[in-house]
Amino acid sequence: MQSATHKGITLTVFGRKHSLCQSLVWLAFALPFSALATLLGGLSGITVVALVGLEVISKTIFYPSFVNLSEESNPNIPFVFWFTGLSGSGKSTLADLTYNYIMRQGYRAVRLDGDTLRELFKDKGFSREDREAHLNRMAAIAKLFTESGVSVIASFISPYERGRQQIADSLQNFHEIHVDTPLFECERRDVKGLYAKARKGLIQEFTGIDAPYEKPVKPALIVKTLHHTPLESFEQIRSYLDRLLHF
């Protein structure tokens, strides 16, 4: 899955490792070259020649092998974490925690959130066709970011399995995270009163009330939040992320 066009986000992480490897190679060869210079009389000219030889050897022969080793042992391509779940399930909160975590690790990432982007793209409604068209648009935006070397942390209800599969097929290194929270708990958490309005008929085609939510068939991760705090739930995501990125 790796390609030369998808190596932007981990350069800062690999840069530290490469500098360390180069320093170790330098040290390994500096000792025998310095000893040789001493045996030959400690002449400054000999020392200079030794250091130049060391520079050439470390950078042209040995150092690249460390670079290749780092690239082979790390997923050096942008990724997409797509959080899906009912309104009020906690997907936005968990996506925010995920975004903040990977940014602290030195990765480049962008945050895409359903509520925020709905305010920017108001031309689509909430019918099945409009939902899928809107999410395909979001997937296209995510693809633009990943093709520029930026990872994407997205949170959308994205209620239909077919739509989510289309998104997964269009993106590389895609990870679907199902935030699985029961409907009654989502209603209890609803500070905006959206569920209550939907049950009164004031909001039409509201997911979970008069529009379906199809649970993911094979998500990368299922996070159940009913009996856990956001930080406790995030630990499951962090563990998965650490394995993915080899932290």
Q: Which two tokens stand for residue 67?
A: 């670079």
The burial of 174, by beta-carbon neighbours within 10 Å (0-12 exposed, 13-18 middle, 19 or more buried), is given as buried
CA 168 to each of CA 76, 92, 181, 192: distance values in angstroms, whole numbers, following the listed order: 19, 19, 22, 31
Q: How far apart are CA 101 and CA 92, in angstroms?
A: 14
Residue with tokens 């856990």: 228
78 φ, ψ (degrees, to nearest 5)? -65, 155
Residue among 181, 173, 176, 159 nearest 229 (CA): 181
Q: For the chain, how many residues are written?
A: 247
Please state, in angstroms and rounded to a whole number, the distance separating the CA atoms of residues 149 and 77: 7
Label residue 201 exposed, middle or buried (CB < 10 Å: 0-12, 13-18, 19+). Answer: exposed
| Residue 172, CA distances (Å) to 78, 139, 140 in order | 8, 11, 12
Residue 194 token pair: 């959206």
Catalytic residues: 158
